Structure 1
Amino acid sequence: MDDSLPTVKRRAFLKGGLAAVASWQMGGAWSEAQVQSTSVEAMAEDAHQEIWRRFIDKRLDVLFHYVGLNGEVILPTADHCVASQPNGMSWSTPIEDGPFFGGLYLDGLCNRWRVKRDEESAEKAHRIAAGLMKLAERSETPGFVPRGLGADGKSHYPASSEDQVFPWFYGLWCYVRSGLPTETERVRIVDKLRSTVVALEGHQWRVPCARLEFGYRGTFVRPTAHDAARFLFLLRAMHQLTSEERWLTQYHERLQEKLGPGMKSRLEICAEGLEYGGHGKGETYLWTHSMSQAALRALADAETDASIREAYQRGLTASAEKAAVHLERARRYDPANQFAFDTDWRFLNSSWKQQANCEEAIALGRAQLPLWADRNPRSPYEDDTVREPLFAAWIICLAGKEAQQRLLGDKLQEMLARYQWRGMYTATFFVAVNLAYEGGRLKAQG
């Protein structure tokens, strides 16, 4: 595998100068000087443009999980959604991660607006926020946020998850606090956020499916750092949004509540940092656990008690240090890689069977993942070489300047220069925008 840095995009040529263009035309590797002259912001802007060129569902302003290199996408029909084909989780379809991707991307867009203060930044943030609201407003079950909508613009699969509802909430919270929404828009969003969290509370902090008889997918009260961070953030954010004291009271109670085999408080659990292991051997979940790091960042920023804030910071730093080892996975990315990616997911329907509840849907979806990978080896390849190292970098950035300088440094610039956004099939590279504009969070804090 060639570890030389690949070409970057048109704006990068302009930033890098004629010498960089000449090197690219001759097929040579980028020199260190050329990489340094191409800013992180310029490369992230190219990623941003590519997201909007191909990966936005223009009906809703919601992100697709994957599309073809010319934007090709096959949407599930209403019949597919009703029958839970290929599975009730919508896994391996292009509409499986709308709230997840949109919510985290909206955080980056709000920070981008704080830095740039231009009309385009505001407009894009507004559109993604509106898309997240459209998804939630299609739900007839309080606490359930659809992952995406089918070809008819209204049908959806029965299961959401905590990894969808949490970033949906988080992104809209970021948007409300950015100053971008009108007062009317702010009130409408806060009302929807509040009703959703109240519903989750009514379900013992589990995420309901669209049909209650289908069960639940995920909870916020397990004794893990990623669950503790999200749960505490929901409580603290609800107090910030509504000024209702009951949320702050519950936050302080749940913060010190002892749970799990070790009978540790949630604060103690958060201070130990996140773990990134997945279901399979060698599998990692930096992308999903990054939202828990974002929750820790928000909790630390909001905390007025110095000892609690320091505990959160220990968790942020520990999480960043554990993520740092995954940065090297970017070196395995080869722009010349020609692994196949077939956007027609319907071949999975040959393995379909009836699912009575969410547990059966999860089992079917997991059984189909190897079939998906065999047909589309480019998909796990991008997960390994693009998704996980980019989200590892964001986890580090969220830990603060000291961790970023110590653990990331110039590696971010080198990492982004490796990638060719126009050759990506999956949308997870949107997080390049979050990486480039993380400094906007500091502006928000004054």
Structure 2
Amino acid sequence: MKPLHHPVLACLFLFAAGAFADTNLLERTKTLCRGYAEGFISPATDLAYGKRLNGPRGLAVLEKPEEVARGRVMGERRPWGYGSGIEDPAYQTGMMLFALCDAEEATGEAFFAELARRAYRGLRRMSTLSPVEGFVPRGPHPADGKSYYKDSSLDQHSLYVCGLWRYHRSRLASPKEKAAIREIVGKVIRRLEKTQWSIQVEDGSVAAHAGGSMLRWEPRTATLLLMMLAAAHDVTGDGRWKEAYDRFGGEENGRRWALLAKEIERSRDHRYTMFMNQHILRMETLRRIEPSAERKAVLRRHIEATAEDMLSAPYFRAWRSLDWLGEESWEDAAKKEVANAYLQPLGVTVASEVTVMDLWRKFDVNRLSPPALRGRRNHYEPIALATPAMVWQIALLSQKPELIAKVRPTVREMLEQVDFSKVDSGWACNYSVLAALWNAVPSP
């Protein structure tokens, strides 16, 4: 790869190139989206999946429908479906729908409108699967259109609502579609109220593996609760959700808003994951709904600070190792040896002070890792493509011109240099699509 290393020169080039450069970039974005749709979105369900569906094995890359129905993955009981390939369609499709609506609004491109309508159809279909009203499942399997995992999560539920809310707010949704969204979102929020604001498994017997109470005094759960209530009120018009929004927002002298106004943690090790974009999208959704300019500014500053820290922090200290190493930590000698063996072709170790931008510059789709991680090999997508692309998304949503200008050249590099037909990681491709779509939106 031969990346552009000077963002100022790159920006001057874009300015000098004028409309032709913009048109070229837009066409590359559409090409990326088209390839993503062909590879990862099932024509049977109109939902995005975590593994490439148009490869040599076809749908066989996914867990079998009968195993999904039993709550199993690779012979083990795993009712949350991790590793199945069908565990995150609400996450990946919901975020994509949000970004598509933003890109369509900015460009007027019919292609983005068509793909957004398709994503909406997939999310609407998802609402018909469970006998429990308001439950957002992990699935369905594209082979039978009905098998799903019953232990869902806060990310599936919240990003499902974010995507539907954004489509409802767009010029693309018909009156009939808006009515359907009001009904769907209403059912989701009523179920959460019934479970006392807790994300639970389908039958409500226990907290979800990646769910639980939304009432915890933490910035992420504060954002989650307030966003869900704000979106529910905005979509349904039901005053009870506005009353709940004001009540929870004002509880203990506005403690939730105070949590969001605090400085982010910049010193804690392993403070970030490869899935932090979900928190930022919930925060961005809340920012767009919240009428108070003061509160909007609180949310905007939090997004800005997160993007700034992510772009500059040493990756191996700031990010958890689970997302690329498959382990919670590499601190002991044996795990450190494995981690460094995996990283060796990149010319770095876990002691290297490299950032996500440095790791992006090392991405080469033709470079295959050694079989250091339990025999698994990849093209370093988790650390050199997916995570950088996720950080670019957050910078592009920050509304801070300096941050946006810093990442735009790298998004262009990605669009020009990466052969995505060789990338089988659903997360890497989905995150790249999101970055490209938000890159199509002009700076504020």
Same fold (TM over 0.5): yes
Deviations 1:214-244 (A, max 9, x none): 5423143332222222221111112211222
**One of 228, 236, 241 as aligned partner of 1:234:** 228
**One of 96, 105, 113 as aligned partner of 1:114:** 105
Report the AA paired with residue 296 of structure 2.
Answer: R
Show the counterpart of 1:190.
182
Show the counterpart of 1:294.
281
Residue 246 (structure 2) pairs with residue 252 (structure 1): yes
Residue 79 (structure 2) pairs with residue 88 (structure 1): yes
Q: Are the structure 2 counterparts of residues 304 and 154 from structure 1 closer, same or farther at C-alpha, using a change threshold of 3 Å?
A: closer
Report the AA paired with residue 230 of structure 1.
Answer: L
Cα distance in 2, alignment partners of residues 294 and 438 from structure 1: 12
SS in 2 for 1:216: strand
Show the counterpart of 1:364.
none
SS in 2 for 1:188: helix
Show the counterpart of 1:332.
362
Show the counterpart of 1:436.
436
Show the counterpart of 1:23.
none
Aligned runs of 1:324-403 on 2, under 5 Å? 324-325=311-312, 326-339=356-369, 374-378=374-378, 381-403=380-402
Show the counterpart of 1:12.
none
Residue 36 (structure 2) pairs with residue 67 (structure 1): no
2:51–2:425 CA contact under 8 A, matched in 1: yes
Show the counterpart of 1:29.
none
Show the counterpart of 1:139.
130
Show the counterpart of 1:76.
63
Report the AA paired with residue 245 of structure 2.
Answer: Y
Report the AA paired with residue 317 of structure 1.
Answer: E
Q: Are the structure 2 counterparts of residues 317 and 115 from structure 1 closer, same or farther at C-alpha, using a change threshold of 3 Å?
A: closer
Cα distance in 2, alignment partners of residues 214 and 307 from structure 1: 38
Residue 259 (structure 2) pairs with residue 269 (structure 1): yes
Cα distance in 1, alignment partners of residues 193 and 49 from structure 2: 29
Of structures 1 and 2, the one scoring higher in RCO (CA 8 A, sep 6+) is: 1
Residue 302 (structure 2) pairs with residue 312 (structure 1): no
SS in 1 for 2:199: strand
SS in 2 for 1:57: coil
Report the AA paired with residue 87 of structure 2.
Answer: E
**One of 45, 49, 52 as aligned partner of 2:34:** 49
Deviations 1:167-216 (A, max 9, x none): 11100111111121221121012101111111012112222212333542
Q: 5+ residue gaps in structure 2?
A: 5-16, 313-355
Show the counterpart of 2:343.
none
Q: CA deviation at 1:115?
A: 3.0
2:201–2:207 CA contact under 8 A, matched in 1: yes
Report the AA paired with residue 238 of structure 1.
Answer: A
Q: Are the structure 2 counterparts of residues 97 and 165 from structure 1 closer, same or farther at C-alpha, using a change threshold of 3 Å?
A: same
**One of 261, 276, 285 as aligned partner of 2:273:** 285
1:272–1:314 CA contact under 8 A, matched in 2: no
Cα distance in 1, alignment partners of residues 267 and 35 from structure 2: 30
Cα distance in 1, alignment partners of residues 95 and 414 from structure 2: 20
SS in 1 for 2:276: helix
Q: CA deviation at 1:440?
A: 7.1
**One of 70, 76, 96 as aligned partner of 1:105:** 96
Deviations 1:327-373 (A, max 9, x none): 333123112123599xxxxxxxxxxxxxxxxxxxxxxxxxxxx9xx5
Q: CA deviation at 1:389?
A: 0.7
Residue 222 (structure 2) pairs with residue 221 (structure 1): no
Cα distance in 1, alignment partners of residues 216 and 442 from structure 2: 31
- Higher mean alpha-carbon deviation, 432-441 vs 291-300, is at 432-441
Deviations 1:66-103 (A, max 9, x none): 12673633243343023322221111111111000000
Cα distance in 1, alignment partners of residues 42 and 385 from structure 2: 22
Show the counterpart of 2:192.
200
Show the counterpart of 1:13.
none
Q: CA deviation at 1:424?
A: 0.8
Q: Are the structure 2 counterparts of residues 439 and 53 from structure 1 closer, same or farther at C-alpha, using a change threshold of 3 Å?
A: closer
Q: Are the structure 2 counterparts of residues 59 and 417 from structure 1 closer, same or farther at C-alpha, using a change threshold of 3 Å?
A: same
Q: 5+ residue gaps in structure 1?
A: 7-32, 342-369
Cα distance in 1, alignment partners of residues 134 and 96 from structure 2: 21
SS in 1 for 2:361: helix
Cα distance in 2, alignment partners of residues 304 and 296 from structure 1: 14
Report the AA paired with residue 191 of structure 1.
Answer: E
2:150–2:202 CA contact under 8 A, matched in 1: yes
Identity %: 22
Show the counterpart of 2:342.
none
Report the AA paired with residue 114 of structure 1.
Answer: E
Q: Are the structure 2 counterparts of residues 327 and 223 from structure 1 closer, same or farther at C-alpha, using a change threshold of 3 Å?
A: farther
Cα distance in 2, alignment partners of residues 272 and 40 from structure 1: 38
Deviations 1:129-165 (A, max 9, x none): 1101111210112332111123322121221101111
Cα distance in 2, alignment partners of residues 118 and 169 from structure 1: 24
Deviations 1:358-411 (A, max 9, x none): xxxxxxxxxxxx9xx5343217x2121111110111111111043534643533
Q: CA deviation at 1:256?
A: 3.3
Report the AA paired with residue 90 of structure 1.
Answer: G
Q: CA deviation at 1:301?
A: 3.0
Cα distance in 2, alignment partners of residues 97 and 276 from structure 1: 29
Cα distance in 2, alignment partners of residues 273 and 418 from structure 1: 37
Q: CA deviation at 1:306?
A: 2.8
Cα distance in 2, alignment partners of residues 420 and 115 from structure 1: 26
- Higher mean alpha-carbon deviation, 130-139 vs 418-427, is at 418-427
Q: Are the structure 2 counterparts of residues 409 and 44 from structure 1 closer, same or farther at C-alpha, using a change threshold of 3 Å?
A: closer
